[in-house]
Amino acid sequence: MQKKTATVHLLILDPSQNDAESMVSLLRNSGKATRAHRITSEEDLEDALKNSNWDLFLARDLEQEFGPDDALATIKRMDKDIPFVLLTEEYDRERTVNIIRAGAQDAVPFEYKDLLVLVAKRELAALEDRRRRRTLESHLREAEQRCQLLLESSKDAIAYINDGMHIYANQSYMEFLGYDDIDDLICIPVLDTLTPESQERYKEFMKAFAEERKDGMTMNCTARRSDDQELAVTMSVSAATYDGEACTQIVLQPEHNDAELEEKLKQISSQDLLTGLYNRQYLMDELARIIAEAGKNNETGALAYIALDNFQSTKHQIGIAGTDLLLGDVATLLKDNTGEGITLARLSDDAFCMMCMPCDEKGMAMLCEGVRKAVDDHLFDINGRTVPLTVSIGVAAITENSPKAEELMGRAHVASGDVKKLEGHERGNGVKVYNPADYETIEESNSADAILKAMDDGRFRVMYQPIMNLRGEGDEHYEVTVLMLDKDNNEVSPFDKLPPVGRDDAATRIDRWMILQTIKQLASHRASGHDTRLFLNLSAETVQDKTFTPWLSVALQAARLPGDALIFQFREGDANNFMKQAKEFTKAAHQLHSKVSISQFGCALDPYNTLKHIEADYVRLDGSFVEEVDKGDAGKEQLKAMVKGLQNAGKITIIPDVQHASVLALLYQAGVNFIQGNYLQAPSPAMNYDFGAG
């Protein structure tokens, strides 16, 4: 049977009807069944892109009201995956380079018919490969989700291990061994879940499995639960993969029925308890599904990131309880101003999201404008107090060419932040659509990839700011910060540029880069006779990373640096959001003889509750306490009470943001241990502060 040739759907931009017909005939004569549409205006192109799927765009480089550069910009703005070939009147190297940089696939002289056919076939084949890849990725994701659901719902106790460590366990496995949280089991050696008598048999068993690689091998052993109860089990092992990595699957089966294994899998709630909207996890999972659907079916949707303007200031004014009421009112307003087919979610403390499929970014932008106006016009009554509120909304299209969910969310977040760059919107209160063409260059520093490239390109700087002991002792301490040079050579924090739900490894890579740079310099600095210690700020991602402290141990040994030379510092908010992980991190840091500090302390409703769970050595108060000192006696008494409470808890206190000498007497009388700020010295690329002179 003759193979059916797929029809090529062709868009042509050419002022000449006859020349356009000749290009259609050329492709047909080359064996490509072709259906074409000649573009006459920007509106015509937008309608064509919205209503149909296209395989190739041929544009004549001739003087016309709507030219090829405009057409390419429209395709990029709408984020469509359509090969674009410019047909020039003669070969022009500069023009060819510029149009390819703008996103075209090639430029071919109009008279080179044979070359045009070859380029068209090449780009059509490449497009087919991209579409096939997207379809396969969608099928793979669906298969992985089915496998994950089967694993999670299985009554068999199943886990995956790598190098003898747990990397995954289903609910039945955790319940069988008495663990409530997967984080408590991850990276625990299998040996630690067996009795001493079974550990040697397990080692011999796994050695035999490594040699024979025979799936289904079994051994009888005794498991030891987290509550030290012992259970006789049969362990079977098989080769497997998890997250694309080779590993070993183990299945535990008791010699008798255990009632715990009969419990049904608990469904994780998809609802945000405060607002009743969907929560972040549900939104990101649904966004990933919709992106896959768009790639498979060539559908178009849109995502909106709704940021509450000046949220921190509003929060300070109305308090925690008032903020909860405000967020609930915002959620109700969003529901009232959106119709069916719109997915609403609360993404974080000060951000909501809307998602729709099918739709386009223009339709979503119109809906967002209605939401923006509704919020601006609404009088939020919080405990008898009228609270003004505005929102900055960023819109990103969901197309067959969209990146992964985290990066797409980053696009909407960037557009939301750029509202304040619009004329007349310096304080927000606007809507902006993300145009991929405006953010194509990696130097824009608008994505995790861009930031990591800046790090690789040597555009990161390590800065040191002295922390002086106010009690007169000659300790040498510095706080380390990382700055990045943006495209304009301005120094900015790379963490401020990361998308809100960007790549998890970006923050950890920055932290590890910072640590490697600083311990090298610190080792050299201490070798010259300085007994210097560094405060290293860590991201929430690193605090949660169980591989960090083993990596750190190796790094310290390589630098021949003692652990007590480093003090790891993380924010109070991160400590409260990830209490269990922060507690484990602190314990692991202390085992390396390093100290731990909590920064931005005192902002939580009950800050001392954090210290009940985390054995921090230092506490760095939030800079607002120093600001309040200048406003009157109430601020001074508040600072004194906070310092006294921390002293009673046995904590070493640090006051940051000290700008002038007038507060030193008060801080000394209050019992503050350390001070930091530009009064001593602004952050510097060298550890050169004269602590003796202080």
Q: What is the DSSP letter of 269?
A: P
pLDDT at 54: 92
The residues with which 482 forms a beta bridge, in sequence order, are: 462
Q: Provide the pLDDT confidence category of residue 502 given band limits of 50, 70 and 90.
A: very low
Nearest partner of 656 among 636, 678, 640, judged by Cα? 678
Nearest partner of 446 among 404, 410, 482, judged by Cα? 410
d(CA 597, CA 616): 6
d(CA 272, CA 275): 6
Q: Which helix (H) or strand (E) holds 174?
A: helix 171-177
pLDDT exceeds 70 at position 516: yes
Q: Which helix (H) or strand (E) holds 568?
A: strand 566-571
pLDDT exceeds 70 at position 568: yes
pLDDT exceeds 50 at position 638: yes
One-letter amino acid for residue 683 of the chain: P
d(CA 363, CA 488): 34
Question: What are the structural domains of the chain?
Answer: 8-134 (3.40.50.2300), 156-256 (3.30.450.20), 270-444 (3.30.70.270), 447-676 (3.20.20.450)
pLDDT at 210: 87
pLDDT digits (tens, 9 = 90+) for 458-490: 888 899 999 999 877 767 899 999 888 876 677
pLDDT exceeds 80 at position 495: no
One-letter amino acid for residue 392 of the chain: S
pLDDT exceeds 90 at position 498: no
d(CA 287, CA 647): 48
Residues 679-689: what's their mean pLDDT? 89
pLDDT at 264: 35
Q: What is the pTM of this model?
A: 0.47
One-letter amino acid for residue 84 of the chain: F
One-letter amino acid for residue 288 of the chain: A
Q: Provide the pLDDT confidence category of residue 499 given band limits of 50, 70 and 90.
A: low
Q: Provide the pLDDT confidence category of residue 515 given band limits of 50, 70 and 90.
A: very high
pLDDT exceeds 50 at position 266: no
Higher local confidence (pLDDT), 556 or 495: 556
For tokens 């959106």, the residue is 338
Q: Provide the pLDDT confidence category of residue 265 given band limits of 50, 70 and 90.
A: very low
pLDDT exceeds 70 at position 261: no
Q: Quick one: CA dihedral 557, 559, 561, 566, positive or negative?
A: negative
pLDDT exceeds 80 at position 635: no
pLDDT exceeds 80 at position 384: yes
- Count of CB atoms situated within 10 Å of the CB of 259: 6
Q: Provide the pLDDT confidence category of residue 605 given band limits of 50, 70 and 90.
A: low
pLDDT at 163: 85
Residues 343-371: what's their mean pLDDT? 91
Nearest partner of 449 among 393, 406, 396, judged by Cα? 406
pLDDT digits (tens, 9 = 90+) for 142-195: 777 777 777 777 788 899 998 888 888 888 888 888 888 887 888 688 998 999
Q: Provide the pLDDT confidence category of residue 356 given band limits of 50, 70 and 90.
A: very high
230-244, 325-339, 622-636: lowest mean pLDDT where? 622-636
Q: Provide the pLDDT confidence category of residue 576 given band limits of 50, 70 and 90.
A: confident
Q: Which helix (H) or strand (E) holds 557?
A: helix 548-559
pLDDT at 83: 96
pLDDT at 335: 92
pLDDT at 149: 72
Provide the CA 156 distance to its chain's centre, in angstroms.
33
pLDDT exceeds 70 at position 51: yes
pLDDT digits (tens, 9 = 90+) for 583-602: 999 999 999 999 999 998 88
For tokens 């299209």, the residue is 397
Distances (CA, A) of 660 to 397, 630, 681: 50, 11, 11
d(CA 184, CA 581): 9
Nearest partner of 433 among 412, 451, 463, judged by Cα? 412
Q: How many CA atoms lie within 13 A of 146 on its CB side?
A: 6
Q: What is the Rg, in whole angstroms, of the alpha carbon atoms belonging to the chain?
A: 30
pLDDT at 497: 66
pLDDT digits (tens, 9 = 90+) for 35-44: 889 999 999 9
pLDDT exceeds 90 at position 394: yes
pLDDT at 604: 66
